[in-house]
Every structure is written in C-alpha cells, then in structure tokens.
Structure 1
Amino acid sequence: MQAKEAWTAFPDAGSPAVQVSKTATDGHTVFLGGCNKRLGAGFTGTFSSYRGDALQKIDDQSEPVTFEVTGKAGTERFAGGLHYIAGEESWGITGLLSPAFVVAFGRGDMLTVRNERGKAAFSFELQGSSKAAGTMQRVCGFATAPAASPRDSWTAASTTATAITGDIQISAKGIRFENGTTLELTSTDQPGVLRLVKRENPVLKNNNLLCGQQPPTFVVYGRDERTESLDSSSNLYLKVYNGSQIPPGSDAIGMDHKGSGFCALYNYTR
C-alpha cells in the first residue's frame, strides 16, 4: 500500500463495526483501526511498522500524544494516548477518540500524530477520509453526534499556558489538556463559571499543576470584553480558583478577577 492511496473503509458484516486502514507518508507505518458500536461512539486503532524515534518503546506503557488534523478548517488538535506492545511492535490508541475527531478526520487534509514534546511521529494524507468518516458515522451510530468545532479548540497564547497546559479543548463538561489529561466540570448558576466534579489535581505538562499543590475547585471561561459570548470571542482567559466560594459571573468577562481563591490565569487564542 502506498501513502498516496485513499483511506479504505470496510463495514463488518457480522457486527456494527468499520475497519479503516492507511499507510503513512513515511511509507512504512501502517494504521489499522476504525470503530465498533459495541465499544462506544469513537475511533480507535493501532499503528505498526513505525521506524522512527519519536515514540517510546517500553512494553505495556502508555504516553500522551496529540492527534493533529490540518485542512481548510484550520488546525484541530485532539489529546489522546498510545500504548506500546513490544511483542507486536505496535502502538494502540488508548480509549476512544471522540466522534468530534471523526468529523475533523473526514474534512481534513493531513493527520499528524505528535508526542508530548510536539515532535511528529508520523503523518497520514487524508485522501478518501470523508467517505471513510461517513461510513463510520453511519455504521457505528454516531452520525448525529455533535460535530467537532475548531471553536472548542484553543491554542496556548501565554508563557504559562504553553508551559503548563499546552493547547486545550473545552466544553461545558470539562477540559482536555495537551498531554491527554482531562478535568471533569459541571456548570453553576453563574454563566461561564464551572465547578470540579470531584476533588483532583491533574498533572499536566512538565509535571506541572494547575494551581500548585492545592487542588482547584472552580474554573472560569473568560471571554473578550467586547463580545457577548465565548462563541464570538477570539481569546479565552482560563481562570482557576481553589477557594470554597463560587466566583462571580463578572469574572467570565475580560482578564480581571474578583472571586476569592484565585490562583492562576492561562491565556489562549484561536
């Protein structure tokens, strides 16, 4: 199989599953995977025959990676992980990449997998990916899943954000950081103010923490002062708190903050 060939997608006659495959631009690395409705709505698979040095080769160990899709929609990044199996000399995707990834995959031009340091391990041209994505969405039952939006992905724009969180993806349910770590959130009665679902202090890039040794309790999605909502804002001011009181809704506007327990500010753009 040559890198220039289109992605193949074959529905499984015996189950609600689709198998897709492609050879990377390096001419060696092969991806084999797809979706299976019984496993959940998402994308998974295995990379084999990789000859580079950007990925760890420690048996039964996982490492964070970023799945980067570039195309007319811009650059869309999805945090994930790869798990190495020495006996098979292969790296399997840990868990499932979301239906949002499948949407990006279907409209992109190039898929690149990068390690935690940002070094590219391998890339796949996306000829035929639109048809493959459509087949997976139809057969595996997530054709109506919310589309991936570049507006949910934010690029680190401050030194602090670059060093600690990296690029992020946000939603009303949580934050996914560049190293694959997630922070589960729930809404409050204050717009843009979210509470942690459980007490946790996730380890991020370079073994950094969001708020130091004290676990965070609230985060605020701050928007530009000139905009009416985060959807129309080109900047995100992620404010982190470790106090017991809910930050005021006014903290969701601009970079300023009045809430007690404020401990960190991270800036992003898109």
Structure 2
Amino acid sequence: MRIDVVSLFPDFVRQCAAVGVVGRAQQRELLQVETWNPRDYSSDRHRSVDSSSYGGGPGMVMMIEPLRAALAAMRDAAPEPAHVIYLSPQGARLTQGRVEALAKLPRIALLCGRYEGVDERLLAHEVDEELSIGDYVLSGGELAAAVIIDAVGRLQDGALNDAQSAEQDSFSDGLLDCPHYARPVQDALGTVPAVLLSGDHAAIARWRLKQSLGRTWLRRPDLLSQRVLDAKSRALLDEFRREHASQGQAREEPSRQDDAVE
C-alpha cells in the first residue's frame, strides 16, 4: 500500500512513520509513505501557500494553486489512483471500520490543512472524503495523518508479527478489548486471574469475551446499543453485571462498618 501526505511539515510526518510497526512495515516493503510540501509548488519567490480570508476575520487560508499543483504531482508519481482525504474536524468520525476499509485500498493521499483551513473550492474538486479523529481542533492535520498512517499501516498483511493481534484489538468486532496481564503472576498491585493460568483455552476465550462485553457496557455503552447480541453474549454480559454489582456491594460493606464504629 502507498500513502501520500501533502503537508507543510513533511519531516514530522516522515519521522512519525519511521518508527514502530509502521516503520517495520516500510522496511518490509509492505507500506510506502511519501510526502509532498505545497511550498515546493508555490509560484512566488516567498513560497507563499496562504492568504487572508475573503470576508474578513482572523487567520489565513491555504490557497488553491500550491495545493492543486502538489496534488497533481502526487497523482503523477505513481500509476495507482489516489483516494484523497482531507483531515478536518468537520469530517466524518474515524472508526475502526473505516480504517479497515482504507487499509484495503492500494493508495490513499492525506491532505493536511493549516491556519484556518483550505480554500473550499479545492476541497470540492480535489478531495474524495473528509475525516476527523475527534471533536477537537489541532494546529494542523499532521497529527491526524500520523494517526491514520499508523492505524492503516499496522493492518497491512505481515506488518504485525502476529496477525491475530489486529483481530483482537478494541473495536475490531465492535467491542472494547479485554484486560491483559504480563509477568509476574503476583504483585503488590494484584494477581493475574486464575483462568488465564489454567491452560483451558475454551475457558480463557469465555472469560475474555465476558470481560470485553463488560468493559464495553461500563465504558462505551453506545457501542453495545449498535449491536444485536446472541444468546451466549447476552448471558455472559448478564453474568458480568451480576459480578460487578456484587463487587460494588463488597466494597461498600467496610465503609459502612467504619461509619458504625465512629
């Protein structure tokens, strides 16, 4: 897969994409990340890429011509058509499902805005999709581009040492991930659940699904409202709720006794 990034800060993008799983994916030639600086395509001696906004108001707006020229050079650099994404808080919310769909494309291009944004005419004619990584405003699209590069890059076949890692991630099946534990078994902070030490793969799978359902119910109930649970999942979620309620009562008992002593 190839990802092209149009950005005023190409070094930042390249550095983010050079480490970890994404860096390894590039070394394995599973992923190619290229950058394009609009300043290189500016037509004046100051390498201008922005101007004041028509209608007044604070801030500058990125101009059409340098971006259009950068996008044209980007498209001509490889034969595959590029799906162009503008990174904007006004875009659709990025989800794991959208990441998985993007990861199947041969080539995407990420357009990083700065200042007050990009001339609307360029967005209307040169951009295929707008995406947002959250309901907040950043100084530019580079951090959002790094997020998409990482999320998409790690899904390329062979990028992860264990392919099941991606299958078991949060949101991969519409649920949050279950808790995970590492050595040692016993620590002052607690003990690893016995079921994970049992070697009973069926019991471990059942526990993990129950914890995944329970965590989603506690932290992201909106995700559960979008799913139709089968009978097994409903039973496991009910079991988690009962256990959660009993644990809450157990924590309250000592405080009640302390109040009585006082």
Q: TM-score range by the shorter chain?
A: under 0.3
The structure with the largest strand share of the pair is: 1
Structure of higher RCO (CA pairs closer than 8 Å, 6+ residues apart): 2
> How does the TM-score come out when normalised to structure 1?
0.26
Structure of higher CA gyration radius: 2
